[in-house]
Structure 1
């Protein structure tokens, strides 16, 4: 089954393409995308995996309010990977649009109009 969390890698690449960031802030920025449901360990595992594959790099940066934080940055390979997701996501959107078009008549038939039409 497709779930938004399956888009964690491309969403992280997107967010890091916008600007470098540390894990906690990335988790916060993922929430409006519907990706994080409280399991932040998955985010950190995915960040490490993307870094191992050369899509990200990271270094430690001092924090004004506590210990140093690992800041992640997208690499050239990560930007290429992000662009490769474009075709996949466009195809997914086409399939979802097709599905929704076929679903619409069923929903309309299931919920009669208030005027009896």
Structure 2
């Protein structure tokens, strides 16, 4: 079971991408993939966009498409920018806690890798050398 849930990062990732530039849903889905957020369920992205818009973090307008029907283009609002900044503090704190955890875990993982025949690559990944 994985405790890490990338879907919990969907809102801040959408705010980040829209802070970089306004965009439509399909393109946002494409831009989320390198962040490891979208796993094929694009409906979650659209629900989250609508929720962020209802809460005043985004606004949207219909824009003509060069090929096909008009597309809804989302833009970050001032409230959305403030929300993005609040995520910065939250994510920095999460990173601090994860770094602390990983520092404590590294010696345990290195010891286990050595017992199982792990090589020097394990020690270079942050483990300890005996």
**TM range, smaller chain:** over 0.9
Give the structure-2-normalised TM-score: 0.84
What are the ranges of 5 or more consecutive residues in structure 1 without an aligned counterpart? none
- Give the direction of change, closer, same or farther, for the CA distance of 1:49–1:116 in structure 2 (3 Å limit): closer
The alpha carbon displacement at 1:2 in A equals 2.9
- Give the direction of change, closer, same or farther, for the CA distance of 1:55–1:102 in structure 2 (3 Å limit): same
Give the structure-1-normalised TM-score: 0.93
* 1:31-85 CA distance string (max 9 Å, x none): 0000000000000000000000000000100000100000000000000000000
The alpha carbon displacement at 1:25 in A equals 0.1
Matches for 1:42-81 after TM superposition, within 5 Å: 42-81=44-83
Structure with greater strand percent? 1
Given that residues 7 and 37 in structure 2 are in contact (C-alpha distance below 8 angstroms), is that contact kept between their aligned partners in structure 1? yes
The alpha carbon displacement at 1:114 in A equals 15
Given that residues 109 and 127 in structure 2 are in contact (C-alpha distance below 8 angstroms), is that contact kept between their aligned partners in structure 1? no
Given that residues 14 and 28 in structure 2 are in contact (C-alpha distance below 8 angstroms), is that contact kept between their aligned partners in structure 1? yes
Q: Match for 2:5 among 3, 6, 11?
A: 3
- Give the direction of change, closer, same or farther, for the CA distance of 1:59–1:109 in structure 2 (3 Å limit): same
More contact order relative to length (CA 8 Å, sep ≥ 6) = 1
Given that residues 57 and 83 in structure 2 are in contact (C-alpha distance below 8 angstroms), is that contact kept between their aligned partners in structure 1? yes
- CA-based RMSD of the aligned residues comes to 2.9
Paired residue total: 115
- Give the direction of change, closer, same or farther, for the CA distance of 1:115–1:52 in structure 2 (3 Å limit): closer
What are the ranges of 5 or more consecutive residues in structure 2 without an aligned counterpart? 113-123
Runs of 4+ in 1 over 2 A off after TM superposition: 113-117
